[in-house]
């Protein structure tokens, strides 16, 4: 795992990496991006703004709903027609 400013930014705990994004003005999921030198940088999932890795906290799946996320599953998702929930259903909400 790579270090950014002496902070390990890899996935070292269970759960999902979340941080406050100043540009989006909300708590967001984050992802790791490799810069031009191959260094890992933690970024906002929505706008790709760089996130200070010291500000990342790890939350469990149950906490995602509180900040506006949910994990989709094939079970009970969509209208029930074949292919629904995969972006090809005309019965979108």
- Whether the CB-CB separation of 21 and 46 falls below 8 Å is answered with yes
Q: What is the pLDDT of residues 10-55, one digit of tens each?
A: 555 579 999 999 999 999 999 999 999 999 999 999 999 999 999 9
Count CA within 13 A, CB hemisphere, residue 46: 14
- Whether the CB-CB separation of 40 and 4 falls below 8 Å is answered with yes
Q: pTM for the full model?
A: 0.65
């Amino acid at each position: 795992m790579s270090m950014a400013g002496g902070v390990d930014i890899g996935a070292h705990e269970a759960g999902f990496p979340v941080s406050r994004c100043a540009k989006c003005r909300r708590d967001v999921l984050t992802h790791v991006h490799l810069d031009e030198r191959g260094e890992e940088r933690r970024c906002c999932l929505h706008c790709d703004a760089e996130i200070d890795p010291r500000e990342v906290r790890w939350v469990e799946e149950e906490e995602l709903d509180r900040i506006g996320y949910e994990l989709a599953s094939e079970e009970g998702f969509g209208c029930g027609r074949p292919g629904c929930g995969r972006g090809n259903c005309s019965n979108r909400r």
